[in-house]
Structure 1
Amino acid sequence: MTEPETRTHTVEADGATVHYDVRDARTGGAGAGAGEPVLLLIGSPMDASGFRTLASYFPDRTVVTYDPRAAGRSVRTDGAAQTTPEEHAEDLRLVIEALAAGPVDLFASSGGAVNALALVARHPSLVRTLVAHEPPTAQVLPDREAALAICADIHATYLREGTGPAMAKFIATVGRKGPFPDEWREEPAPSPADFGLPTEDDGSRDDPLLGQNMLGCTAFRPDFAALRAASTRIVIAAGKESEGEFAARAAAEVAAALGTPLAVFPSHHGGFLGGEFGQQGAPAEFAEALREVLAASG
């Protein structure tokens, strides 16, 4: 099968120019022909480049990826220092409507899963099936107060000390197994050097994860009433190797609140990655699991 042609487009959102890419497996554009819906793959703050491997396993589908505002090519035009899931949801609405292809199938990972839950609560008619993979919303955790405080501390560390110290705390936080203790402040801060991170502050404060999205994403509480009433089929997923970690625990709580089983996908939080950003998951197995879940919507 030949490699699908890729076209890049933009939509003008409130406060940002959003770039998205269409890998079109059909003749005549994303809205042409019969068959499966467009498959939209999203993360946050990870941009479209993180889905190259996963997209390659769906050559029979029109696949759309995008750069969230303040990440990759999608520059904020309003100078705002933080981005909310509601803003991301409206950006996604614009992208889906610009496709003019009807309801999409949507795979959303990490912060993208949080944004997708916000989208479906507001605009369920735009999405046939949502697979929300490890949404890191601290609000749903039993240990939410400690989790939210830790996320706020990571953001404050970034503003105060820069990328290295903040990212060291972030890595330690997302990889921790089990609930966060109330006395978390008594634990020693991890060293950036232990993770191969810079120890000197370069003065930049434009990181989309630590700056723009950390607080809004983790503090978001899904509208469970709206999600339960949505026409969208919602599947909440977590990686097999992620059990007990922050985002996987949040995924389990979201699934329980929706009254649906948690889908267990291969590998870890980045299980779909095939070397992007130096991370390796199990993309072939991950893609097969995703295909099976989406096929159940047919």
Structure 2
Amino acid sequence: MAETSESDPFVEHRRLLFATAYRMLGTVTDAEDVLQDTWLKWNEADRSEVRHPKSYLVRTVTNLSLNRLTSARATRENYVGPWLPEPLLTTPDFAERTELADTVSTAMLVVLETLTPIERAVFLLREVFGYSHAEIADTLDRPEATIRQIAHRARSHVRSRRPRFDTDTTERAHVTEQFMAACAGGDLNALMDLLAPDVTCWSDGGGVVTAARRPLHGPDHVARWILGVLAKPESAGIALELAHINGEVGTLARIGDVPVAAFTYDLVDGRIENLRFQVNPGKLKGLTMSTSMLG
């Protein structure tokens, strides 16, 4: 992306634009591609005809994301194993902004994936970024009455599927430390004690690296699978560290300086209920980039 001045509206609103695209698409790579395309369109536009640059840029990002998401859904239907969003490192203080952090949590991005592309766009613009129904109607070129119906449907869908879990960062950090210690020590019983009776584990390897092709259920099955993966030769030299991932305390795995996995989870009554392992090498870019873009 070419140099632009700090006073340029694209630069001024870049964090908002990335945050919109990332929440729409669930991938860092696609979000950055959308920003690149938005910048190109912005530079080709007749600025004298753009009365509200911020609205123009948000509209462009949203519609480019819609187009990309619509085409991506067919690809994801043929994805090898469970599909999980690309993890993104966030700053510790981001987790303290609970409402904002929740909108980018791995759990929320998974729920958003069950919406249609238009529902996802309307939900995010309305519930996350606070746009009015009239503004969304203008952005998406739909009647306001239609937008209101879509917004109601999407909100109800998200509320029914959004998991309820503990967000206390201190407790999450404590459980994460115990999780890493049990994994590092190969302690099956300690690991099982951290898992809820109805725990489910999803792992996204994209058919590229070792991962379970189907969700795993139950403490014994999940714990044995985790320790089995860590005991494999290709896991030699792996180091686990506490990290803030998508606004939550989680675990980052590295071999040397290279991120090889991100573990996020839901914490319910002090136990891990849902584990999500992102191990697809092509989806770990957000673990090395700047973390200020979600703002």
- TM-score by structure 1 length? 0.31
Work out which of the two has the higher radius of gyration on C-alpha atoms and give 1 or 2: 2
Higher relative contact order by CA 8 Å / sep ≥ 6: 1 or 2? 2
